[in-house]
Amino acid sequence: MNIIEIRGLKKNYPLGDTIVPALRGVDLEVAEGDFMSIIGPSGSGKTTLLNVIGCIDFATTGSVKVGGHEITSLNDRQITEIRLNKIGFIFQTFNLIPVLNVIENIEFPLLLMKRPAAEARKRADKLIEEVGLKEHAAHRPAELSGGQRQRVAIARALVTNPDIILADEPTANLDSVTGASILELMRRMNEIEKTTFIFSTHDANVLKYARRIVKIKDGLIEKEPALA
Amino acid sequence: MLLIRLSLRNLLRQKRRNIMLGSAMAIGVCILVVANSFSHGISDILFNKIMRYVTGHVAIRFNEKGGVMREIFRDRARAFEAVKGEPVIEDADEAVGMFARAIGNGRSDNIILVGVDTKKTIGKKALREVEESFRLVEGKWKDVESAEIENPVIISAEKAHYLNVKMNDIVRVRFRNMFGQDQAARLTIVGIMKNDNIFMQPVVFLELPREKELLGYRPYETASLSLKIKDPQKNAAALADRIHARLKPGIAAIYASAAGRDGRKPVVLLGFKSDEESKKRISGILKLSSGSFEKAFRKDGVIIPVPLARSLGVNVGDKVAIRYDRKFEKTPKEASLQVSAVCGSGDYPAQDVVLLNDSGFYDLYYDDLPAGPGPGAKAYAADATWSALAAPEWVLLKRTYNTDDYKKKYQEIARNKWKGTTIDVSTMYETASDILKLESVLNIITISAVLILFFIILLGVVNTLRMTIKERTREIGTVRAIGMQRRDVRDMFLLETFFLTLFSSFTGLIMGFISMRLLSLITFHPVDNPLGMLLVNGHLYFLPTFTGIAGSMLLIMGIAVVTAWFPARRAANLSPAQALGHFT
């Protein structure tokens, strides 16, 4: 069953008086529980595609269905609800909230969902253990290494049990060993939590972790390359 | 809770910036609280430390025959009856004061001689209050009631210095008594008070009965009444209304006997109103059998009905001897009236009634208040026509509720020729609502000045918030991407501003109280300086009020939150994708 269905997706950005096409007619289907990588050179439209799937950017034309919802017809409040309940984000630069400690960062989305504090803390405790940061629970993000921060980001993305986790270049700011461990973790989480993972990368070394690879170039999806 | 936690933690992120902004806000609040307390203090001084002693919270003023200085009511017991049974009244005093020219040792100056009721005022609590308000540097308050000393008085140090007099010296005074006669008296200084309040410097205190005697009052007469009440701001107007309702006058009647050539008959003397409209009505309803309205309407005009004229054996031009019992004297009053007209028919009040022009009537009536109708005798009851035409016991002036109306009322009093006694019931808030206006003006000036200061501070708030939003754009993008609604992002920034203003306001409030305490420790010596009116015992006086402080804080928090609304909304409306792509 497809959790994402994209048809004829175009996304243009205005740049002064000119229009820059970022996506030029993307058709894509992603099955539930997939572990998929989007690859392509810089400026190919990877981030734009992830942003549109993640409902933080909007299609100029085309149809985008996420978890059965046609997101192009929803208002901001409904789209925000989808982001909160259905999607988890892992950012290249981690994007943790600096004034909250590790455990608070992880439970943050659950508190936005108005879940009881005790329940949120219980779920965050489970995840912090799974990502191996239990002893760092009270630390602020500034006190963690890059790899540790990304583990927190993964736990935060998983905490709401989302249908999809989107990771934009999750290993770009990490050394190769840490990057590999992060991808291992994501893969493990994919297996444990059965969550759909879509991550973008231009690093050929990380492709071995993907079960499906989608190549994008100049705003269009090319033929899917064979898995290594 | 999540938003509050985030807001409070974010507030601590930029400590130096927020401390500087918060300090500026705190200074603004401090100025506002101090200024507000100061202006309220001025009102309190004027109302509760000056007006309270000059007019009382509620004043009942009696003016006989329109005489501004003739503040007299002939029935003291009845005046006090009107204020009886009012639990809000703490004290009811006769307000007796007069201007006089004092001659000291080689110098003379004007003084205000004020009567103090030592029997009542010098209770323990009252004495303490008096001593706090008027500090004696020499002598004792008790000495003003000394019977061995000739007119013992307490004088202000400034006035004593100017008149070149000291303790036990004699000050001679010239003054005009209540009836316009020039009088002189000797006062003995038994106390010298130190008074930093410039308004109280010309005041010389004399025992009330002595003051009344000098002015020409008889023991059963009273001057205007000054009432001190509980919670005057709340109770004064309602109490004045109640007293006013109780003072509604009846018809003034003298139950007398009249003697003519043929004998003596019981009669009722009534005054008829002699204004043009009343005279026109009277000449329309009465048919004279002899005499004329022209003569009857003169000040000494007297009209009697035909049956009474016959039984007394008198006619126009004849004298009638009148005798009646007086209310406060043992011997009867005797007077002679000359008949001006005899009424043959028409709507005459009653066959035993003698009508007198109200001017002449009141001379008789007020000089010696008559006793009632006597045992077994019926009181005169007027019909509707004569209720309107007969002279009342007094004229009760309408109530007013602000200074403008009060001034108009007194302009009208000055224009009219009053024959009877006017009674006016007023509160100090209407006699001096200008003081409240002054407080409002001072507050407006303060708020305007502080608003300018706050405008500058709020520019800082906006600027800080814009800077904060710029610095935290990626963070806004993150929380929006995670699923925070726009409204929550906006509220998070508003809460930050609210908490910053709240903490600053409380700091400002504490600073304000400390400043007031320090300022009130400074001693001023304002001899002959109008600034003296702003002082209490040589110190600045502040009166902070809950409403003033809460209002100031709410105003500042309101302004800050409203100002923060626009940048906060801008932050909330940021596109998550653009915000995430933002680099600082």
Of B13, B482, B488, the CB nearest to A109: B482
Using CB atoms, which residue from B9, B481, B575 is nearest to A89?
B481
User: Which residue do the tokens 């986790």 mark?
Assistant: A165
Describe the strand order of the beta sheet including B253-260 as a list of residue ranges.
B286-291, B341-346, B302-305, B353-357, B263-272, B253-260, B319-324, B333-338
Nearest CA in chain A to B576: A56
Using an 8 Å Cβ cutoff, are B398 and B424 in contact?
A: no
Is residue B294 over pLDDT 60? yes
What is the pLDDT, as a whole number, of residue B435?
A: 67
* Among chain B residues, CA nearest to A107: B2
- Give the position of tokens 């002036």: B397
Given a cut of 80, whether residue B7 has pLDDT beyond it is: yes
Burial of A156 (0-12, 13-18, 19+ CB in 10 A): buried
pLDDT (0 to 100) of residue B346:
72
Chain B residues in contact with A98 (beta carbon < 8 A): 13, 475
Question: Which residues 144-163 of A are in CB contact (within 8 Å) with B?
Answer: 156, 160
Confidence check: pLDDT of B423 > 80: yes
B494 contacts A86 by C-beta, under 8 angstroms: no
Distance from CA of B27 to the nearest CA of A (A): 29
Write down the residue that tokens 């006017």 correspond to. Answer: B422
pLDDT at A224 over 70: no
- Contact residues for B151 (Cβ-Cβ < 8 A; gap 6+): B185, B186, B187, B188, B206, B210, B214
8 Å CB contact of A100 and B9: yes
CA atoms in the 13 A half-sphere facing the CB of B546? 0
Query: How do the residues of chain B divide into helix, strand and coil, expressed in percent and rounded to 5?
Result: 50, 25, 30
**Chain B CB within 8 Å of residue A114 CB:** no
Q: Compare CB distances from B482 to A76, A84, A117 and report the shortest one's residue.
A: A84
Going from N- to C-terminal start, the domains of chain B cover 2-50+433-580, 56-94+221-249+394-430, 97-216, 253-393
Q: In this structure, what CATH number is given to the domain that contains residue A187?
A: 3.40.50.300
**CB contact (8 A) between residue B2 and residue A99:** no
**Is A147 within the bounds of a domain?**
yes
Q: Please state whether beta strands B152-156 and B182-194 pair in parallel, antiparallel, or not at all (unpaired).
A: parallel
Nearest by CB to B485, which of A51, A77, A85? Answer: A77
Task: Tell me the per-residue pLDDT of A150-160, one tens digit each, with 9 for 90 and over.
Answer: 889 988 988 99
Point out the residue among B10, B474, B483 whose CB comes nearest to the CB of A95: B474
Q: CB-CB: which of B6, B482, B488 is closest to A89?
A: B482
Residues 164-223 of chain A with CB under 8 A from chain B are: none
Is the confidence at residue A110, as pLDDT, over 90?
Answer: yes
- Which among B12, B478, B488 has the least Cβ separation from residue A97? B478
DSSP A4: E
Q: Which residues of B touch A56 (CB under 8 A)?
A: 477, 480-481, 575-577, 580
Residue B108 has pLDDT above 50, yes or no: yes
Q: By residue range, what is the domain housing residue A216?
A: 2-221
**A54 interfacial to chain B (CB closer than 8 Å):** yes
Query: Mean pLDDT, to the nearest integer, of B256-280?
Result: 91
What are the chain A neighbours of B9 within 8 Å (beta carbons)? Answer: 99-100
Please name the residue of chain B whose CA is at the shortest distance from the CA of residue A106. Answer: B482
Burial A35-70 (b: 16+ CB within 10 A, else e): bbbbbbeeebbbbbbbbbbbbbbebeebebbbbebe
Which chain B residue has the Cα nearest residue A77? B485
pLDDT at position B583 is 45
Task: Count interface pairs A-B at CB distance under 8 A.
Answer: 68
- DSSP string for residues in B11-63: HTTTHHHHHHHHHHHHHHHHHHHHHHHHHHHHHHIIIIIIIHHHT-SEEEEEE
Secondary structure element (H or E) that encloses residue B216, with its range: none
Beta bridge partners of A65: A5, A70
pLDDT mean over B1-7 = 86
For residue B258, pLDDT beyond 90: yes
Kindly state the tokens that stand for B554: 């709410």
CA-to-CA separations, B303 to B266, B334, B382, in angstroms, rounded: 16, 18, 17
Check residue B349 and give its pLDDT: 85
Instruction: Give the mutation candidate from B486, B574, B580 for the A interface (greatest A CB count, under 10 A).
Output: B580
Residue A225 pLDDT > 70, yes or no? no
Q: Do B479 and A97 touch (CB under 8 A)?
A: yes
- State the Cα–Cα distance between residues A214 and A58, nearest whole angstrom: 20
Chain B residues in contact with A12 (beta carbon < 8 A): none
Q: Is A51 an 8 Å CB contact of chain B?
A: yes
Do the domain assignments include residue A227? no
Residue of A nearest to B479 (CA): A97
Task: State the total domains in chain A.
Answer: 1
Mean pLDDT for all residues in chain B? 86
At B378 the pLDDT is 79
- Contacts with B404 (C-beta within 8 Å, 6 or more apart), sequence order: none
Q: Which pLDDT score is estimated for B126?
A: 63
Q: CB-based contact (8 Å) between A136 and chain B?
A: no
Mean pLDDT of chain A: 88
Q: Taking CB atoms and an 8 Å cutoff, what residues of chain A touch B12?
A: 99
Is the Cβ of A79 closer than 8 Å to some Cβ of chain B? no
Q: What band does A101 get if pLDDT is binned at 50, 70 and 90? A: very high
- pLDDT tens string B493-544: 999 989 999 999 999 999 999 999 999 888 877 655 666 667 777 788 898 9
Q: How confident is the model at residue B38 (pLDDT cuts 50, 70, 90)?
A: confident
Conformational region of residue B530, where left means phi above 0, alpha means psi within -120 to 50, and beta covers everything else: alpha
Residue with more model confidence, A194 or B169:
B169
A54 to B481: CB separation less than 8 angstroms, yes or no? yes
Q: What is the pLDDT of residues A30-40, one digit of tens each?
A: 999 999 999 88
Residue A80: list chain B partners with CB under 8 A: 480, 483-486
Residue B456 has pLDDT above 80, yes or no: no
pTM of the prediction? Answer: 0.65
pLDDT above 90 for B136: no
pLDDT at B531: 64
Mean pLDDT of B310-335: 91
Most confident residue range from A174-178, A214-218, B344-348? A214-218
pLDDT band at B584 (very low <50, low <70, confident <90, very high): very low
In a domain, A20, yes or no: yes
Q: What mean pLDDT comes out for the span B556-565?
A: 85
